[in-house]
């Protein structure tokens, strides 16, 4: 079992694309270490013959007819955009 002390909140926050202040990083480091320590009990359970369950009631091959239907207009799709112009979402520059 991984150790609670392995957690590096500053590193994980980069993976999560989520900036944290120094205070938050320190606070979460302590609080989440407590949670991980509490969860160490999962290491006691014999799971060698158990299949992982992603859903309690799994259903498979869910399809519907691929038929065109009325849905959002461009205006509606853009209605909540933080930045838009000419019926387009304006994004932050990604290429030099």
Q: Alpha-carbon dihedral of residues 25, 26, 27, 31, nearest 10 degrees?
A: 100
Nearest approach, Cβ of residue 81 and another protein (Å): 6
Among 70, 72, 85, 86, interactor with another protein by CB under 8 A: 72
**Cα angle at 2 between 36 and 57, to 5 degrees?**
70
**Cβ neighbours for 75, distance < 8 A, ≥ 6 positions apart:** 87
Q: Does 50 bind another protein (CB under 8 A)?
A: yes
Q: Which residues bind another protein (CB under 8 A)?
A: 1-2, 6-7, 9, 12-13, 15-21, 24, 28, 31-32, 34-35, 38-39, 41-43, 45, 47, 50-57, 59, 62, 64, 72, 76-77, 79-83, 89, 91-94
């Amino acid at each position: 079992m991984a150790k609670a002390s392995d957690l590096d909140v500053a590193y994980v926050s980069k993976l999560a694309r989520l900036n944290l202040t120094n205070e938050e990083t320190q606070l979460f480091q302590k609080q989440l270490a407590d949670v991980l320590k509490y969860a160490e009990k999962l290491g006691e359970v014999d799971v060698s013959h158990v299949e992982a369950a992603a859903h309690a009631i799994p259903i498979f091959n869910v399809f519907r007819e691929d038929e065109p239907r009325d849905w959002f207009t461009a205006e509606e799709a853009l209605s909540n955009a933080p930045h838009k112009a000419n019926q387009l979402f304006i994004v932050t520059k990604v290429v030099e």
